[in-house]
Structure 1
């Protein structure tokens, strides 16, 4: 039987006053570990943009929840300096945490850039750490020389290196010559199949993603326009916000689809889960995804998926029952949507398949085994 551990989690981001949806899957994993009997603490250091400076805060919940959070302003365009500030301040929070909660058995770092303080704690207190890597920029070759060295040091000093997909793990093994084990992200309990009444949006395709370049909503909207040429009864609902919102709304208007494409902005998990239970199909149009938490959330609600065959996506959509993988062209996405909309779907079966791989119990069991193997 695996011994229960005292685990300190250092996530690269976490729900905070500036963004309550930031890093929610880190919190989900923390909750799963606590449910399985581990003592879990969190030190979250959240860098704020200039527009978020009103949310500068220090939240000490050590007595009630073993958690400390510091929301701190980032220095624009000086990422190495931000990283050094983050590491220094997090080491101070670790000292405070140990004084209040005791020395953890292991530190679990999420994303290499949060590992500096864990390396310090390993050297000062002898606390081993593991690291889970999520960052897509390794595959896109967008890591600067400075952060390449930061990542190399983070991975080399870790007792175990994990990646959220085998695809990302292979990339990291090639770049750093270090073994990575795949432990996927977790799906939260809000996302489950619930028979739902009809929606105010009629029959619709759902997308949930930030409105940024890499998510490529332009591809999705143009593909949807091709679908509408043969289907006048389906709409498109897009959840998320970002810098491309106005541009995408203008594209919808240009295609005369402003009455069939609904931009809902940010929604919380409960609202997203409700939409997933109402939708006919989930469609992701990203150029790249290391994993795609939103895909397992959709599947857990019994919603089939159309998504590009890139990154870690084919590890999730690995059978026709779960959905269709398309290439990166608008026409391929449109044809895949048309096919998927005509299929008969067993929603309960999709939910069970997703739960067996990404549930709280499944992922916490995999992590417990990882912690137990640390010497």
Structure 2
């Protein structure tokens, strides 16, 4: 089967981890025998427009092979990309790229849009132009947060309503889509994201022995991830104790404020800001930890949770949407979002009871539900259904 992927966000030279899971999913499908290609009209914010970036990207169209998958991009810069002109430009650009894609690689059997944020409407237009069905997988946390701008709704609803197959990455997101007025309300499947189980493995040489107990989080340093709530909970749980340390992998606009918070709470010597890491760096941080913590206010899924579990780590997560599908009594603990006292208690409990969690069972749960094979089966079923309607 030949699949053309249209992602709403995707890795770029300037932001190599943005939408990395879309690229890894395309690679996974290709590795399991499908013919896969990607079209992506980049419209990056001028905030990233360094002299070098402008030399490399000047509105040209280029074939690349990102992550081993043929990808046709048009590079662009648009200060209005978050507003109606930018979205319309992206949709028109995606249709033009799809036509050029077909000229070189032939007509796909199905189009797969990731998120109705704008790619759903683009896929609907490509579908009309090429006479090919499209499916849509929704990932966007704005549905859970209720932060969809009114002018976006017609575009979003068009992408949802006309899809021949519709999936969401978690039960919470599925329920929001089902309740959405004017969008398709039936047959919304739950298709969680996959984990690279062959990459995120248990540490080959074992983990360092505590003490201290090493907690880790992998998150963007922005308000939605609420890393400040985790630092506060860590300070409450361990106060002046040297029994535990916390590694924070990620970067973002809140970093300076979070570092100041750690100093103010007198835990700066036990909170390590690791900054942005590549995939190997994330894996190394997970291998060196004893437990994983996620303190988000909203998550449509929780890729970082599943990656941590694939390495055998027990997890602590907030009930913020996606984690409720992922975390079981056998794999970790769920706490309310934005509740530092409950999170602090969970950190203390994890310190006391970590040995009760079986790393092999945690990894098996992650791989059995989120590994490549179940992901490919679910996706193939979605495609077959779309092609037979």
Flag whether TM exceeds 0.5 (same fold).
yes
Q: CA deviation at 1:203?
A: 3.5
Q: Secondary structure at the match of 1:290?
A: coil
Map 1:260-299 → 2, pairs under 5 A: 260-299=270-309
User: In the alignment, is the contact (CA less than 8 A) between 1:9 and 1:43 conserved in 2?
Assistant: yes
Pick one of 41, 58, 65 that aligns with 1:45.
41
**Equivalent residue, structure 2, for 1:187:** 195
Report the CA distance shift for 1:82/1:183 in structure 2 as closer, same or farther (over 3 A). same
Whole-angstrom distance in 1 between the partners of 2:144 and 2:129 = 33
User: In the alignment, does 2:64 pair up with 1:70?
Assistant: no
Report the CA distance shift for 1:177/1:93 in structure 2 as closer, same or farther (over 3 A). closer
Whole-angstrom distance in 2 between the partners of 1:221 and 1:277 = 21
Report the CA distance shift for 1:45/1:202 in structure 2 as closer, same or farther (over 3 A). farther
User: In the alignment, is the contact (CA less than 8 A) between 1:219 and 1:330 conserved in 2?
Assistant: yes
**Equivalent residue, structure 1, for 2:5:** 9
User: In the alignment, is the contact (CA less than 8 A) between 1:75 and 1:81 conserved in 2?
Assistant: no
Once the two structures are superposed, residues 27-49 of structure 1 have per-residue CA deviations (whole angstroms, 9 ceiling, x without a partner) of: 11111111111100011233312
**Equivalent residue, structure 2, for 1:21:** 17
Q: Secondary structure at the match of 1:72?
A: coil
Map 1:244-259 → 2, pairs under 5 A: 244-259=254-269
Q: Which region of structure 1 is more displaced relative to structure 2, 194-203 or 13-22?
A: 194-203
Report the CA distance shift for 1:200/1:104 in structure 2 as closer, same or farther (over 3 A). farther
Q: CA deviation at 1:371?
A: 0.8
Pairs aligned (count): 370
Q: Secondary structure at the match of 2:147?
A: coil
Q: Secondary structure at the match of 1:115?
A: helix
Map 1:328-347 → 2, pairs under 5 A: 328=337, 329-343=339-353, 344=355, 345-347=357-359
Pick one of 136, 141, 144 that aligns with 2:141.
136
User: In the alignment, is the contact (CA less than 8 A) between 2:95 and 2:126 conserved in 1?
Assistant: yes
Q: Which region of structure 1 is more displaced relative to structure 2, 71-80 or 254-263?
A: 71-80
User: In the alignment, is the contact (CA less than 8 A) between 1:155 and 1:161 conserved in 2?
Assistant: yes
**Equivalent residue, structure 1, for 2:63:** 60
**Equivalent residue, structure 2, for 1:367:** 379
Once the two structures are superposed, residues 301-321 of structure 1 have per-residue CA deviations (whole angstroms, 9 ceiling, x without a partner) of: 10111111121211101x211
Once the two structures are superposed, residues 279-301 of structure 1 have per-residue CA deviations (whole angstroms, 9 ceiling, x without a partner) of: 11111111111111111001001
**Equivalent residue, structure 2, for 1:80:** 84
Whole-angstrom distance in 2 between the partners of 1:78 and 1:168 = 22
**Alignment gaps of 5+ in structure 1:** none
Q: CA deviation at 1:335?
A: 0.3
Per the normalisation by structure 2, the TM-score is 0.91
Per the normalisation by structure 1, the TM-score is 0.94
Whole-angstrom distance in 2 between the partners of 1:71 and 1:248 = 34
Q: CA deviation at 1:51?
A: 2.3
User: In the alignment, is the contact (CA less than 8 A) between 2:214 and 2:291 conserved in 1?
Assistant: yes
Q: Secondary structure at the match of 2:28?
A: helix
Q: Which region of structure 1 is more displaced relative to structure 2, 362-371 or 40-49?
A: 40-49
User: In the alignment, is the contact (CA less than 8 A) between 2:5 and 2:38 conserved in 1?
Assistant: yes
**Alignment gaps of 5+ in structure 2:** none
Q: Secondary structure at the match of 1:7?
A: strand
Whole-angstrom distance in 2 between the partners of 1:364 and 1:26 = 13
Whole-angstrom distance in 1 between the partners of 2:345 and 2:20 = 33
Once the two structures are superposed, residues 101-121 of structure 1 have per-residue CA deviations (whole angstroms, 9 ceiling, x without a partner) of: 000000000011112332222
Whole-angstrom distance in 2 between the partners of 1:233 and 1:366 = 43
Q: CA deviation at 1:62?
A: 7.3
Whole-angstrom distance in 1 between the partners of 2:122 and 2:294 = 35
Q: CA deviation at 1:202?
A: 5.4
Whole-angstrom distance in 2 between the partners of 1:111 and 1:105 = 19
User: In the alignment, is the contact (CA less than 8 A) between 1:12 and 1:45 conserved in 2?
Assistant: no
User: In the alignment, does 2:185 pair up with 1:178?
Assistant: yes
Q: CA deviation at 1:65?
A: 4.3
